[in-house]
Each structure stands twice: as structure tokens, then as C-alpha cells.
Amino acid sequence: MKPVLIINPNTSASMTESIRHGARQANGDGSVDATNVPWGPISVETELDSLLAASAVVELIWERRNDYSGFAIACFDDPGLAEVREIVTAPVVGIGEAAILRARDAHSVIGVIVVSERVVGRVQEHFGKYEVSGDRLRFASLDGCVLDLDTPSDAVSEQFVIAAQQLVMRGAECVVLACAGFSHAVGPISDAVGVPVMDGNRLSIELLWSYLEAGGYDQKSEAPQPFEGVRPSKPTWQERSNANVGRNQS
């Protein structure tokens, strides 16, 4: 079987290494490669970042579609997931999807560590796509930015541990890490609070392998749509302006 590829939909090399480490903790015998998109946002923290990341993910998976047996998108927003599933036949999963499904099916009250308060609404909406109601969720915010939190250190680990302890005190039965760069926090949190920690990087690979071992997956409602690759970009405003000037002078 060909390896699977987990894709960091931003251009941060340090986060790609964190994702690679988390993905390779998956239980199974398959091979995992990791890469980041060649263009796009340096981190995915806003709706605009997510939109740009989705475009880069679609392009990369289309180019690599014959090289891997399956793909995982390593951002909790799962940018490009639905779009990629329209154009490739290989299984494609998102780390948000994988973590949410595992937590939803195993626990009643779910703790979620997010990068900052501003993303809580977006993350809660993502849980809602998988029929997880808001009353089952408890959030703890680190109030930082993604690139400040994806590299392990004593100070960063302490932030995660405190957040997890707060969630458990509020009734959380597990802790979901709502960012691809948080894999390094699994160990410190597990040691401190003793509840399951849902790392989407690992869980997405396990989900992919389960689909491949079963001979496919049933998440498509119809066959992939015809696709000829990413379309050429439209002319820039300046190019259109120059063309209009040329026509006016002729």
C-alpha cells in the first residue's frame, strides 16, 4: 500500500514538524509522509486564512493524487475537505473531523483547547457539523497565536496543562486539541489530568488507515466531478486596464 500524506495547509515548517510527530504516533503499520502547502498563509487563524489554505490544499492534493493512498488535512477547520472529496477517489479526512468524531462517540462532555477566544465560535460551529451540541462543549482559551504555541517549552506546556485542568474541573471527560500545532502537548496533558487527549494529527491517520483496510469509505454521495486542475488565474486589474487602453487606442 502506498503511504498516506498529511498536509499542513499553511507554510510554517515548524508546524509541519509538529504535525509529522503527531501523525506518526498513530496506531498502525502504514507509512506516513508530511508536507506543507507551497503557498498560502503562514498560519490559519481567520476565515480568510482558511479560504486561502483550502485553495492551496486542493491544488496540492490534485497534483499528488496518484502518489498516495489517502490524505489528511492538518488544520482543525478542515479547509478544503469537502472540495477535495469532489475531485479525488482516495480517502481524504480532516484532523478536526477525526478528533470530533472520536470525542463525540466516546464522551458526553468534551473539553476543547483553542488558540484564542476569537476562534471559539468557529470551532463550536465545526463541532455542530457533526451533531455535537454546544451544551456538551467546554472551552479553554490559550489567548495566543498559533506560531507561539506550536513549539514545546516548559512555559508553553504549562499553559496547556492549566487549560486542561480547568476543563476537567468543569466536567470534561476528554480534551480535544483544536489546532494541528498542539501535538506536543499530548504528553504533558495526559500526565497532568489523566483523561483522554484527542490529537487530530494522530486520529486522522488512524481514521484513514481504517478506511483503507476496509477497502474504501462511504463519505461520498456521488462520483468525483470532472476536474482539469486548478484554473489559470484571472488577469490582474493592471493587465485588464492595459488591454482596455489598447482597444481604446485602436
Say whether pLDDT at 228 is over 80. Answer: no
Q: Which amino acid is at 73?
A: I
Of 165, 146, 151, 173, nearest to 75 (Cα)? Answer: 146
Of 184, 210, 226, nearest to 72 (Cα)? Answer: 210
pLDDT at residue number 27: 83
pTM for the model stands at 0.86
Question: How many CB atoms are located within 10 Å of the residue 152 CB?
Answer: 16
Pairing label, strands 174-177, 137-141: unpaired
Give the 3-state secondary structure of residue 235. Answer: coil
Q: Under a CB-based contact definition with an 8 Å cutoff, are residues 40 and 11 in contact?
A: yes
Question: Do the domains 97-199 and 4-94+202-213 match in fold?
Answer: yes
The sign of the dihedral angle between the CA atoms of 148, 152, 156, 157 is positive
Place of cell 486542493: 58
Say whether pLDDT at 144 is over 80. Answer: no
The sign of the dihedral angle between the CA atoms of 70, 94, 21, 105 is negative
Mean pLDDT of all residues in the chain? 87
Contacts of 172 (CB under 8 A, 6+ apart): 109, 110, 111, 138, 195
Say whether pLDDT at 43 is over 60. Answer: yes
Integer Cα distance of 140 and 115 in angstroms: 9
Q: Return the C-alpha cell found at 15.
A: 508546524
Of 7, 148, 171, 10, nearest to 160 (Cα)? Answer: 148
4-94+202-213 is a CATH 3.40.50.12500 domain: yes
| Residue ranges in the chain assigned as alpha helix (H) | 13-23, 47-64, 81-85, 95-106, 120-129, 146-149, 154-169, 186-193, 200-213, 237-249
Residue 94 phi, psi dihedral angles, 5° rounding:
-115, 150
Average pLDDT value for residue range 2-16: 95
Contacts of 94 (CB under 8 A, 6+ apart): 72, 73, 75, 76, 78, 81, 200, 204
Torsion of CA 21, 51, 160, 187, to 10 degrees: -20
Q: Which of 36-50, 91-105, 214-228 has the highest mean pLDDT?
A: 91-105
pLDDT at residue number 245: 45
Of 151, 155, 162, nearest to 43 (Cα)? Answer: 151
User: What does DSSP assign to residue 136?
Assistant: G
CATH for 97-199 (2.130.10.10, 3.40.1410.10, 3.90.1170.50, 3.40.50.12500): 3.40.50.12500
Average pLDDT value for residue range 83-104: 96
All structural domains of the chain with their residue ranges:
4-94+202-213, 97-199
Q: Under a CB-based contact definition with an 8 Å cutoff, are residues 169 and 109 in contact?
A: no
pLDDT at residue number 33: 96
Q: Which amino acid is at 37?
A: V
Confidence of residue 148 (pLDDT cuts 50, 70, 90): confident
Q: Under a CB-based contact definition with an 8 Å cutoff, are residues 75 and 138 in contact?
A: no
